[in-house]
Amino acid sequence: MSERVTASKFQWSDLVKKEDWWAIWLGFTFILIQIISQVTGAFTFKAVKTHKGWETIGQAFDGIFPGLILLLVVTGILFTIGVKVMGGDAGKFAKAYPAIFILALIAYFFSTQATIKNYLGYAFWALGIGLLISNTIGTPDWIKPAVKTEYYIKTGLVILGAEILFSNIVKFGLYGLGVAWFVTPIVVIFMWYFGTRVLKMVSKPMVIIIATATSVCGVSAAIAAAAASRAKKEDLTFAIGLTLIFTVIMMVTMPLFVSAVGMDPMVGGAWMGGTIDATGAVVLAGEALGPLAGQVAAMVKMIQNVLIGVIAFAIAIFFATKVDREEGGPSVGASEIWHRFPKFILGFIAASVLFSFIIEPSLGTDATKSILKMTKGFRGWFFCMAFISIGLESNFKEMAALVQGGKPLWLYIVGQSFNLVLTLLVAWLLLSGVIFPVPNLVV
């Protein structure tokens, strides 16, 4: 997924010439815009999208066109500046960018429909639209300059870091840590060994992407793992598609199972929060069981999300020193590890620290939530454009070769089954009241 590197020495020009660093600068630009907006109240700049829950086309687009045009212009200018400074063809990018934006808007249009919004998110539609175009008429050459998958993804992940507040850890304490942080590394390691030693999968990056997506938080974790392992775009596309399909299945079936067996809502919420891949799906599944289960599920998932940066860092080191190192070759030094490490993860961590220890304590919880509500909108747009780009760059024939006799599917099924059993066991031990006192949460 990442470009190959020939030198491992840091140069100051990297700060303006490399995509990872531009993702940080752009991510923090959108974050700071919202902080300034909240503090001064002088202006409002929203990442407008079609209205959620629409039933007619008129309802979907009611009053949003001025905001959409402003969003297109501002994001287009900023992304184009980055392309220009990095040495790309800014003119061709600027001409093609509106097409990517409009395709992302179409994905949002379908995903916000009254019925569909409960089952299929924008990621599904964006990926599907891109794949449909690339595998039928083919991706037009004039659009390709703006098909910048990693550029959009990395910028979105930096913004996502702001949403990972350490205060969530404090709220649920050791209970959440036990469910989210104890289980997650075990599942990643189990799936890695199962995929590489038992299934003997050829693509090791695909193994780690599926393992990370399954154990942490689906698409976002898959993206970070792909960058850290320098995976091919085809590996990421396949893994994301697999994750999205099973996320929908688990979101629907798990609440039904919890209710059918009479499971305690707190245990059930923690179980779903630790196993359903997507944060949005976790919230919907939890709310289906009531406010207590919804709150517990959301907190477990958010605590688990904190691990994205940590696991990406660990993957980068592991692949640099073990997986990609030639047998019998020289050991990999710190400079090479630094060079391979996805720098945008530093922006992710910095944003999390900024909001956890500076913004929230100084502005308060309500103001912080207001800011994050706005930044989340931008993050969603950039992810949506990234999924459009992934689809436009992918081909079904190439993806078919990645099936490897059904091994990726078996990796997911076995790994997720292990995850379901272990997470349920830990959730029951911590929250059933048999061993530890049940936390008193205010709903």
Identify the band that residue 2 occupies on the pLDDT scale cut at 50, 70 and 90: very low
Instruction: Please give the average per-residue pLDDT across 405-415, as a whole number.
Output: 87
Expressed in percent and rounded to 5, the helix, strand and coil fractions of the chain are 75, 0, 25
Residue 178 predicted with pLDDT over 90: no
Q: Which two tokens stand for residue 283?
A: 């919230």
Q: What is the pLDDT of residue 169?
A: 63
Helix (H, G, I), strand (E, B) or coil at 113: strand
The pLDDT of 186-211, averaged and rounded, is 92
CA Rg value for the chain: 21
pLDDT value of position 45 = 92
Query: Tens of pLDDT along 252-274?
Result: 788 889 988 989 888 998 899 88
pTM value is: 0.72
Q: pLDDT by residue (tens digit) across 218-237?
A: 777 888 888 888 888 778 88
Q: What are phi and psi of 54, to 5 degrees?
A: -70, 150
For 148-217, the three-class secondary structure string (H helix, E strand, C coil) is: CHHHHHHHHHHHHHHCCCCHHHHHHHHHHHHHHHHHHHHHHHHHHHHHHHHCCCCCHHHHHHHHHHHHCC
The pair of structure tokens assigned to 114 is 């009254």
Question: Whole-angstrom Cα distance, residue 104 to residue 102?
Answer: 5
φ/ψ (deg, to 5) at 130: -60, -45
Which residues on neighbouring strands pair with residue 113, listed in sequence order?
54
5: pLDDT strictly greater than 50: no
Per-chain mean pLDDT for the chain: 83
Average pLDDT over residues 293-321: 80
Task: For 30-40, write each residue's pLDDT tens digit.
Answer: 999 999 999 99
Percent of the chain with pLDDT over 70: 86
Residue range 380-408: average pLDDT? 78
- For 123, the token pair is 């990621």
pLDDT of residue 378: 95
Closest listed residue to residue 223, CA positions, set 124, 154, 319, 300: 154
Query: Do 378 and 27 meet the contact criterion of CB atoms below 8 Å apart?
Result: no
Res 217: pLDDT: 74
What pLDDT shows up at residue 401?
59
Model confidence at 136: pLDDT above 80: yes
DSSP code, position 54: B
363/208 Cα distance (integer angstroms): 39
Measured between alpha carbons, how far is 420 from 429 in angstroms, rounded to an integer? 14
- The stretch 308-328 carries a mean pLDDT of 76
- Tokens 């902080």, located at residue: 35
Residues in the chain: 443
Question: What is the per-residue pLDDT across 332-358, written as a single tens digit (0 to 9) for each?
Answer: 456 655 666 667 778 888 998 899 899
Cα-based distances in Å from 11 to 15, 132, 317, 335: 8, 41, 21, 12
Model pLDDT for residues 29-73, shown as the tens digit of each residue: 999 999 999 999 888 899 999 999 999 999 999 999 999 999 999
What is the token pair recorded at 42?
């002088």
Lookup: tokens for 274: 């630790």
Task: Indicate whether 325 pLDDT > 70.
Answer: no
Biggest CA-to-CA distance, the chain: 65
pLDDT band, very low/low/confident/very high, at 7 (cuts 50, 70, 90) = very low
Which class for 429: exposed (0-12), middle (13-18), buried (19 or more C-beta within 10 A)? Answer: middle
**Residues above pLDDT 90, as percent of the chain:** 38
Say whether pLDDT at 441 is over 90: no
- For residue 1, the model assigns a pLDDT of 47
Give the whole-angstrom CA distance, residue 169 versus residue 71: 34
Higher-confidence position of 181 and 47: 47
For CA atoms 86, 88, 90, 94, the dihedral sign is negative
